[in-house]
Amino acid sequence: LKLHTSFTRTQLSLPPLRPPTYIFYNMASVVGGKGSFMLAAPDKEYKMAKFEIGRPAPGPEDVAIDIVYCGMCHSDLHTINGDWGNDKYPLAPGHEIAGVVRAVGEKAASKFKVGDHVSVGCMVLSCMACGMCDQGYEQHCFKGTCFTYGATFPEGMGHDDCHGTPTQGGYSTDMTVHQRFAFKVPEGMPLEVAGPLCCAGITTYSPLARHVKGKKDQHVGVVGFGGLGMMAVKIATAMGAKVTVFSRSTAKKAEAKGLGADLVATSDPAAVAAMAGSIDTILDTISDNHDIAQLISTLKPVVGTLVLLGAVAKPHALPSISLLFTSTRVEGSLIGGCDLTQEMLQFCSDHKIQPELEVIAAKEAEAALRKLHVGAAGAKRFVIQMDTLNELTFCGQLTASFRCIFGGKGKTAKRERE
């Protein structure tokens, strides 16, 4: 998920968050627990340190997973630096998780077995009973979706040994998660690929499955050609669509052509005007404010849809007259439900779709975060090989502000500086 680095709920005209809105589950740490390790940010800077925590034992519907790889996403930046309101530290981000099942609850045994390759994405629980969940839209759960990191584990959710601790993500050695939110990695798919697909893959696959898959003669536009845009091109092409990339310049034209796509520079008004009324669906991956009126002009009347995948601080200026006279649509899209995520993994396996990635050691994660922060990573996904966390020794020092990580409420965990 890509969001602008400085938006506030007030700027977006959203109501204030209320504590009951979200439920957080199973990615938390056990109060007083030990035996697991995480690579976490001690504060809003990107200085990463190794911490010891405890994970809950799997309940009847849970699976315990030894994490092998975890991809790095721009969402990790926004959560670490407080852009999204996080104030719980140390924080281990990471929602592009892939690993091996270590233990299975009795009710999860029909779906998973020890040794299975699995992945986990941006959410780890929903109510699983409301209309949205019943229809496979767990990310839009009426009673609250549980996202993978950056929240406080509540009381009364079946793992009260985790009550009061922050949920911690995939920059860690292991995790416990409800079986519904763990996905089987298709046979032959490299584990390092599976995690990023559960973020960038499902974010782009979801709207394409909704608007493009199974239809003939589709023309898809992709705005932005970074990691998310490149995944959109690969998936749309595999669905048989003609694809046009919209980029600020023609610098990436050869790269787009290599993936079977055309490229139009948005800085060239004549080139954009030549596309008028020709595109069925546009996926807009840009998270900075930009002119969407020129994009809407390229949509086919009546059937054309612009799908926004990035949030921006300043609301877009909608060309209402153009929308009225063409009956085109603008919509948002947030990841995808559990069944669709499993479908996406199989689709990507069948079509040999993989993100561009680089596997790194845990000690390189801080530098990778800083590259993401300044936009120097390009379309490449950094993926941490989590067993390299063993190479790190404890560094930094916990203070009174770091509570409920190793000890109970009000207690402070202490360790020596390296």
Q: What is the mean pLDDT of residues 113-122?
A: 97
In this prediction, residue 412 has a pLDDT band, given cuts at 50, 70 and 90, of very low
In 3D, which of 72, 19, 67 has the Cα closest to residue 371? 72
pTM of the model: 0.86
What pLDDT is stored for residue 418 in this prediction?
A: 30
pLDDT confidence tier of residue 406, bands split at 50, 70 and 90 = very low
| DSSP codes, 144-198 | --EESSSSBPPSSSS-GGGTTSBB--SSBSEEEEEGGG-EEPPTT--HHHHHHII
Question: Reduced to 3 states, what is the DSSP secondary structure of residue 323?
Answer: helix
Dihedrals phi, psi of 119, to nearest 5 degrees: -135, 155
Supply φ then ψ for residue 320, to 5 degrees. -60, -40
pLDDT digits (tens, 9 = 90+) for 199-223: 999 999 999 999 999 999 999 999 9
Tell whether the model's pLDDT for residue 105 goes beyond 50.
yes
The whole-number average pLDDT for the span 88-104 is 94
The answer to whether residues 103 and 58 touch, using CB atoms and an 8 Å cutoff, is yes
pLDDT averaged over the chain?
Answer: 85
pLDDT digits (tens, 9 = 90+) for 5-60: 333 434 434 444 333 333 333 466 665 678 899 999 999 988 999 998 888 889 99
